[in-house]
Homo-oligomer: A and B are copies of this chain.
Amino acid sequence: MEEFPPSAVTVDLVVLTITGEQLCVLLVRRGIEPFRGAWALPGGFVLADEDLDTAARRELAEETGLAPGTVHIEQLAGYGDPGRDPRLRVVTIAYLALAPDLPVPQAGTDAAEARWTPVATLDPATLAFDHAKIFTDGLERARAKLEYTPLAAAFCPPEFTVAELRRVYELVWDARLDPRNFHRKVTGAEGLLEPVGTTTTRDGGRPARLYRRGPAELLSPPMLRTRG
């Protein structure tokens, strides 16, 4: 092993949710230096005996007070530019988490404040460290994954209507989808949705059938996002 350059390893989280009519990201206001007072992605050090995924879930729970089962979480990428943290060499493993509409987050240990911020109004350049890039990468990953995975349901409560699922696509992609074609597509896709059997009128109008997520891991054929 000889000598090796020592580093700290952290996890950072891009946590996305849909509250009301907006796609939002979880930000914390830093209570300590560096970047004290600035908004940042939640995160923290990986403990000595801890798996990366475990560290990410722990930080998520600390920051949101969330039941682990309700949130989709996946690794995003590693970021390790020298100088990304002014104190010492820190390599961070970023995670992407998608959650249904959540209660207001609670501030964690290092954070003075935690908040859901609409992505439409967020200027990424104001974020601490290199979190602008991590946030942008995470958002793009989420957008891409809606195309070919059933991940949109991760933004919905356990039982949801086709219209609610469509709203997820429309908000994340900032696009309009034809309700009738969307309905035909998702109800026709094998293993995507499982009918619960009951209906709801919470969206107004004719009662809508409720569905749960089905066992499908892949959306085939994919949902098409018209590319520029």
Contact = CB atoms under 8 A, between A and B. Distances in A.
Contacts of A81: 51-52
Nearest to A83: B49
A77 B4 CA distance: 21
Contact of A50 (B4, B77, B82): B82
A119 interface: no
Interface string A46-82: 1111111000000000000000000000010111111
Interface string A212-226: 000000101010000
Interface string A183-210: 0000000000000000000000000000
A89 interface: yes
A7 interface: yes
A181 to B, nearest CB: 17
Nearest to A8: B4
A51 B82 contact: yes
Contacts of A47: 5
A87 interface: yes
Interface residues of A, number: 31
Contact of A45 (B4, B46, B49): B4
Contact of A9 (B52, B77, B80, B88): B80
28 contacts: A1-B87, A1-B88, A4-B8, A4-B45, A5-B8, A5-B9, A5-B45, A5-B46, A5-B47, A6-B8, A7-B9, A7-B46, A9-B9, A9-B91, A46-B91, A48-B82, A48-B89, A49-B82, A51-B82, A52-B78, A52-B80, A52-B81, A52-B91, A75-B77, A75-B78, A78-B78, A80-B93, A218-B227
Given A51-B80, A78-B78, 6 more contacts: A1-B88, A7-B7, A7-B8, A52-B81, A78-B93, A80-B93
Interface of A: 1, 4-9, 45-52, 75, 77-82, 87-89, 91, 93, 218, 220, 222, 227
